[in-house]
Amino acid sequence: MATRPLQTPIGPRAAAWLRRAPARVEARLDAERERIGLWLPVALGAGIAAWFALPTRGHWIGMLCVLGAGALAGFLAGWRTRFGRAVVVGCGVMALGLLLIWGRALWVAAPVLGQPVVTEFSARVESVEPLPAKDQVRLIVQPLARPDLPPRVRVTASGEAGAGIAPGEAIGLRARLMPPPTASLPGGYDFAQRAWFDRIGAVGTVLGDIERAPGAGEGEQTLRARLSAHIHAQIDGSAGGIAAALVAGDRGAISEEDEEAMRRSGLAHLLSISGLHVTAVVGFAMLLAMSLLALSRRLALGGYVLPLAAAVAALAGGGYTLLAGAEVPTLRSFIAALLVLVAFLMGREALTLRLVAAGALIVLIWRPESLAGPSFQLSFAAITAIVALHESRAMQRFLARREEPWAFRLARGVAGLVVTGLVVEVALAPIALFHFHKAGLYGALANVIAIPLTTFVIMPAEALALLFDSVGLGAPFWWVAEQALNGLIWLAHSVADAPGAVATLPVFPGWAFGLAVFGGLWLLLWRTRWRWAGAVPLVAGMIVLLIQPRPDLLITGDGKHIAAALPDGSYALLRDRAGDYVRDSMAEAAGIDAPLGALTDLDHVLCNRDFCRWAQGGRIILAARGRDRIEGAEMAAACAAADVVISERWLPRECVARWLTIDRDTLPQTGGLALYLDEKPRAVAALRAGDDHVWRRPPQVSGNDEAIPTISPAP
C-alpha cells in the first residue's frame, strides 16, 4: 500500500520565510545594537507592571517560572547571538522587576485601620501641607502610645484648627478615621494602593480644635512652607498658588476651577516641578557660576571653570529638588540634569535616550511602585517623545541652522515647538485616557505661548523678586510675575472652554493600554524602519479604547450613588445631592464631559419613599433609596420582577433579582460596579476576587476608642 508524502501545514514560501526569520531578526538587532540597552528600563518596568496586573501569589510565581524558562530557552537557543542574549537579559530583568516590587511591598508593610472610628489621641506631627484654596491643612501624624492605631495617619483640619502647626510638634486631637479607601468605581483612583507604599494606615477629618502640647510652642515651619507663605503674601489667589507651585511645588492655594482649567488646556505639567523647572534652575546656576568663576584668570586658564560650575549647578538642582519635595517628576529631572552635566564634562552628547533610560532605571530601582502612577508615566513618556523626535534625521534637518532671514528662523522655531507639542500630546493621550478618562486636545497650541511665558517671564521674575526681597525691593518683580500668572490663567480658561477642547472616553482596559504603550515604545526607541511595526499594537490598543461601550449603570463601592445612562448619551444620578467628588468620579468613569442630571426627574422613572424603578437597556432596575425596614415577603415580588436590584443596605433573603442582586453583602467583595446591559449583560467590578496584593488584605488594628484627655510633650 503506497503511503502519501508528509505535507507541511504551511506553504513553501512561508516555510522559507520562517527559516530566514532568525537571520533577519539578528540583522535588525545588529543594526540597532546601540539602542538595545534602552529596553532595560522597559523590561524592568514590565516585570513591575506584571506584579500589579496579576492578582495572586500563584500568578506571580508562575510568571517567574515562565521568565526563568524563557531565559533558559534563550541561552540554549544561542547565547552568542544578539537575539539569544536579549531574551536572556530581558527575561532576567523582568524577573528582577517583579521581585523588586514584591519585596518593596513587603518591606513597607504597616498595619491599617480595620474599621471607621471616632477617637481622641495624641500624636507627633510629621508633615504639614497647607491647602489655602480649600481653607484646610493636611497633616501626617504619628499617634503616640496608641498601639490600636496605625503608625502613620493622614488627617485634614478645616478653618483655624490647623493654623500654625509645624512638623515635630506634639498635638492632641479628636478625629473621625477610616481605612484608606479603594477605588469607588472600576478604573478609578485606588488610594489604598498609594497609601500602602506611603505607610499611611488611616485617613480622616479632625473634629473640633487641635490642642498643642504645653511648652511646645508653635514649632518651626520648613523652608518650603515659609517660602510658600512668603509668596502667598505677595500674590493672592490662584496666581499666588501657581507661583508657589513653580518655586516650591506647593499647589494647595490653586482653586479647583483654575486647576481643572490647567488640566483641560494641557498646561497642568507646569504645576508639577519637572524638567522645565529643574532645567531652568540648573542652567541659570551654571551660567551664573561660569560667569563669576571666569573672572579668575587662574581658574580659567587651569580649565577649572566648567567642572566647578557643573558642581554648583548640581548643588543648586539638588537643593531645589529637596525644596520641592522630591516627587517623581522632580527626581527624574534632577537625575537627568546630573547626567547632562556629566556628559558635558566628558565631552559627550548630552540629550539622548540613554540619559532618559538611565533616569528611568534609577527611579524604578529606588521607588518601583512609582511605575503604577500617572506622574512617572506622563513625565517619562513626554521626555522620551521629545528626545526621540529631536534625534530623528527629519527633525534635525528641519531645525538645522542655515542662512535665512530672522523671520524664517522664528517661524521655523515656532513650527518646531508646535510639532514637539503635538508629538507629546499624542504620546500622553493614552496615559491620560487610562488614568483620567480625558485628554486635552489643544495643549500643543497652548504650550506654544505658556512655555515661553513661564520660562522667560514668570520664573525669572519670581527669582528676581525673591532675590530683591532681601533688601525690600522685590515689589516691581512681583507685579510682573502676577500679571504674567494672571495671563497664564486666562490662557488656560480660554483654551479649556473652547469647543472640543477635551476628549473623554470610558474605562480603558488594562491589556489594551499595555498594548498601546508597547507599540509607542517600539516606535520611539528603535531607529531603523522596523520601528514602524510598533504602529500595529499602538493602533490596535487605541481602537479597543475607541470601541469601548459606555456603561449603562455605575454604582459606587458603598452602594449609595447610582448613575444611569440616558438615550442622549448623558447620565443621571439617583441621588441628586451627591457631592462634587462623586459627580466627577461618575463623569470620568462614564467618559462624559457634561453635568449629571437627576434620575428622579425623568418621566420613565417611578419612585416612592423606598425604591425607584425604571427600564434600562431592556432590563428592569430596582434601586433602594430609603432607610426604613421592609419585610422580605413584601419585597419578594418586586425583586423577582426586576433584572437588577441595588441597595446600600442588607436586603432580605427573599429579595432575589433575575440577574444580579447588589447589597451590603456583595459590595465589599466587588467594590464599585459598571454594568453593561446588552444582550449578554456583564458586570465589571473595581475589586478582583482573590486579589493577594498586600493592601487588599493588610494587617489590621482595631482603632478602639480609648480617649486620652490630656497630652504631654513627647520626649
Q: Do residues 587 and 674 both lie within one domain?
A: yes
Mean pLDDT for 305-332 is 76
Does the pLDDT at position 254 exceed 80? yes
Quote the cell numbers at residue 598.
Answer: 437627576
Position 150 in a domain: yes
Phi, psi of 120 (to 5 degrees): -110, 140
How far apart CA 253 and CA 230 sit, in angstroms, is: 13
In one letter, which amino acid is 670?
T
In a domain? residue 45: yes
Q: Are residues 208 and 236 in the same domain?
A: no
Mind listing the pLDDT tens digit for each residue in 107-116?
999 999 988 9
Task: Please tell me whether residues 315 and 203 are part of one structural domain.
Answer: no
Domain range spanning residue 85? 27-107
| Domain-located, residue 380 | no
Using one digit for the tens of pLDDT, what is the confidence trace for 73-92? 888 877 788 888 889 999 99
Of 186, 221, 256, which residue constitutes the final position of a domain? 221
Q: How far apart are the first and last CA of the chain?
A: 98
Q: Are the C-beta atoms of residues 545 and 430 closer than 8 Å to each other?
A: yes
- Predicted confidence band at 39 (pLDDT cuts at 50, 70, 90)? very high
Beta-carbon contacts of residue 503 (< 8 Å; ≥ 6 apart)? 429, 433, 438, 439, 440, 441
pLDDT (tens digit, 9 = 90+) per residue, 671-690? 899 999 887 888 999 888 88
685 in Cβ contact with 184 (< 8 Å): no
Shared domain for 191 and 234, answered yes or no, is no
pLDDT for 97 equals 96
Mean pLDDT of the chain: 84
pLDDT band at 308 (very low <50, low <70, confident <90, very high): confident
Lowest-confidence region among 259-273, 490-504, 589-603:
259-273
User: pLDDT grade, residue 28 (50/70/90)?
Assistant: confident
Q: Over pLDDT 90: what percentage of the chain? A: 27
What DSSP element (H or E) covers 316? helix 305-323
User: Which of 36-45, 452-461, 697-706 is predicted with the least confidence, judged by mean pLDDT?
Assistant: 697-706
Kindly state whether residue 480 falls inside one of the protein's structural domains.
yes
Helical spans, DSSP H, in 54-171? 57-78, 82-107
Establish if 407 belongs to a structural domain: no
Bridge partners, 661 (sequence order): 645
Give residue 11's pLDDT band: very low, low, confident or very high (50, 70, 90): low
Question: What does residue 536 show for φ and ψ, rounded to 5 degrees?
Answer: -65, -60
pLDDT reading at 305 higher than 50: yes
Closest of 474, 449, 451 to residue 461, by C-alpha: 474
Instruction: Decide if pLDDT at 616 tops 70.
Output: yes
Q: Which three cell numbers stand for residue 666?
A: 456583595
pLDDT value, residue 12: 73
How confident is the model over 586-615, as a mean pLDDT?
Answer: 87
Residue 80 and residue 199 in one domain: no
329 and 454 part of one domain: yes
* Residue 326 main-chain phi, psi, to 5 deg: 55, 45
Are residue 299 and residue 362 in the same domain, yes or no? yes
Q: What is the mean pLDDT of residues 407-413?
A: 82
Per-residue pLDDT at 9? 57
Quick one: 255 and 341 in the same domain?
Answer: yes
Give me the pLDDT at residue 18, please: 63
Residue 428 has pLDDT above 60, yes or no: yes
Average pLDDT over residues 487-503: 88
Both 295 and 238 in one domain: the answer is: yes
Residues 540 and 557 in one domain: no
pLDDT at 630 over 50: yes
Q: Looking at 70, 87, 107, which one is the last position of a domain? A: 107
- Residues 527, 573, single domain; the answer is no
Residue 17 has pLDDT above 70, yes or no: no
- As given in the structure block, the three cell numbers for residue 356 are 532618559
pLDDT at 522 exceeding the cut of 50: yes
Average pLDDT over residues 343-352: 67
Which of the residue ranges 410-424, 573-587, 668-682 has the most confident prediction, judged by mean pLDDT?
668-682
Q: How many domains does the chain have?
A: 5
Q: Are residues 123 and 35 in the same domain?
A: no
**pLDDT for the residue numbered 382:** 82
Quick one: pLDDT at residue 132? 83
Q: Are 192 and 181 in contact (CB under 8 A)?
A: yes
Residue 338 is predicted with a pLDDT of: 77
46 lies in a domain? Answer: yes
H runs (alpha helix) in 437-474: 443-453, 459-468
Which pTM value belongs to this model?
0.86
Give residue 341's pLDDT: 78
Higher pLDDT, 64 or 32: 64
CA gap 650, 267 in Å, rounded: 46
Residue at a domain's end among 72, 107, 142 = 107
Report yes or no on 10 lying in a domain. Answer: no
Among the residue ranges 138-142, 203-207, 265-269, the one predicted with the least confidence is 265-269
Between CA 100 and CA 369 the distance in angstroms is: 9
